[in-house]
Amino acid sequence: MTSTARHVPVVIVGGGQAGLSVSHHLKQRGIAHLVFEKETAAHTWASQRWDTFCLVTPNWQCDLPGHPYDGPDPDGFMKRDEIVAYLKAFVAKVDPPIREGVAVTRVTRREDGLFDVHTSEGDYTADEIVVASGGYHTPIVPRMAERLPGSITQIHSNRYRNPAQLPEGAVLVVGSGQSGAQIAEDLHLAGRTVHLAVGDAPRCARFYRGRDVVTWLADMGYYEMTVENHPLRDGVRDNTNHYVTGRDGGRDIDLRRFVLEGMRLYGVLEDFCEGALRFRDNLRRSLDSADRTYNGINAAIDKHIAERGIEAPPQAPYSPVWEPGEPVTRLPLDGSGITSVVWCIGFTPDFRWLDASVFNGAGHPKHRRGITSEPGVSFIGLPWLNTWGSGRFGAVGRDAEHVVGVIQKRLAAARAALKVAV
């Protein structure tokens, strides 16, 4: 890198709510920095969400630094356009030193301890790098997709917008996490015939014993539990999110009930060969496991209510409204009516631009509350960075404050060492 590279104490890579939260706290402490965002600030909420997308947690949990939700419906669930407006207002409040449309292409450590930061607009150096680009980078589409007939329309969940964008005919939705379950419901409510390949995602109730389950769990301290205190420890970061929805005021997503209304369920999609889709024989186990989680969460709420003598209307455990019959493990594509596939099986991280020894074998960063073993490299906005809310509007601000506190101490120590050396 040439000597003309501009120096900035802190470089933030990513201009979503995580990077903006870090910028907020850096500005509060008077620490110079730049935010690099290859698109526009908080763009994913507008460009990678379907038309009926809404939050699955109540609006009152939206608490970005200096920007709590203050709208008329704290117990409601903001829709996509409302979320975008909320974030635009946050951007205006933070007024970050952001370089939009600028991609960071490479970051390497120099012999003098600084970082060389190569971007699409030129080169920089920095004392600190904060990775705020999240962990959902490359959409997962299995190799079997290459063998599907060219007549089948295929899209990933991040490209799905509404049922009208898909050709007439039945739709195969692959994956039953939050996106898969909600997209399957969206298509189902639009009158489309939906085939859903079910994974191992758990589910939870929307409302239980007179309150939103999120409210009960907040009272029970669940959202304050840290990774270190969670029974699964770091393993909780690999968990699939529970499926539920905030649509139309919020409700459960019950895949069994969808079957009674015409949806068709299968186990995990394993292959496409000899003109047929092949599914694993795990549908019954997956549905039963999801329901055990559902009832288990409710039982924990029951215990909380009983221990504190809280007045709350009683509610019976969930009982299945449909049971799978003989498993369908092979579905010939011809005759199925399927004309499109929506892949809802997640993303893989892509941090290849960062040359640092901070990743595990799966490409995920190793850290403690965002602070890695390599001085000067921090992460923010990842699921369970510290608590359940770390990847959400609720706790990302607290995580950002912690990371910035560490950065401030390191920068002060570096300045002190430089004075001693001089």
Q: How far apart are CA 198 and CA 312, in angstroms?
A: 34
Burial of 412 (0-12, 13-18, 19+ CB in 10 A): exposed
Q: How confident is the model at residue 2 (pLDDT cuts 50, 70, 90)?
A: low
Pairing of strands 122-131, 6-13: parallel
Element (H, E) at 12: strand 6-13
Fold of 6-137+349-421: FAD/NAD(P)-binding domain (3.50.50)
Determine the Cα angle at 391 with ends 17 and 138, to 5°.
90
Q: Mean of the pLDDT values across residues 298-305?
A: 98
As assigned by CATH, the class of the 139-343 domain is alpha beta
Residue 216 has pLDDT above 60, yes or no: yes
What is the token pair recorded at 422?
């001089």
In whole numbers, what is the pLDDT of the chain averaged over residues? 95
d(CA 242, CA 215): 16
Chain segment 48-95, per-residue pLDDT in tens = 999 999 999 999 999 999 999 999 999 999 999 999 999 999 999 999
User: Who's near 126: CB < 8 A, 6+ residues apart?
Assistant: 7, 8, 9, 10, 11, 114, 115, 117
Which residue shows structure tokens 């996509």? 80
18 has a pLDDT exceeding 80: yes
Sequence spans of domains, the chain:
6-137+349-421, 139-343
- Percentage of residues in the chain having pLDDT higher than 70: 98
pTM of the predicted model over 0.85: yes
pLDDT for 240 equals 84
Q: Residue 131 and residue 135: Cα distance in Å, rounded?
A: 10
**1, pLDDT greater than 60:** no
The angle at the Cα of 396, spanning 395 to 400, to the nearest 5 degrees, equals 120
E strands along 72-193, which residues?
Answer: 98-100, 104-109, 115-119, 122-131, 138-139, 153-156, 170-174
Which long-range contacts does 44-48 make (Cβ < 8 Å, 24+ apart)?
44/16, 45/80, 45/83, 45/84, 45/87, 46/80, 46/84, 48/158, 48/159
| Packing angle, helices 396-421 and 17-28, rounded to 10 | 50
What values do phi and psi take at 48, rounded to 5?
Answer: -130, 30
Q: Give the pLDDT band (50/70/90) at residue 3.
A: low
How far is CA 102 from each of CA 3, 12, 27, rounded to the nearest angstrom? 21, 12, 21
Average pLDDT over residues 220-231: 91
Going by pLDDT thresholds of 50, 70 and 90, the confidence category of residue 416 is: confident
Percent of the chain whose pLDDT exceeds 90 = 87
223, pLDDT greater than 70: yes
Residue position matching structure tokens 């799966």:
362
6-137+349-421 against 139-343: fold identical: yes
pLDDT in tens, 355-394: 999 999 888 899 999 999 999 999 999 998 999 888 889 8
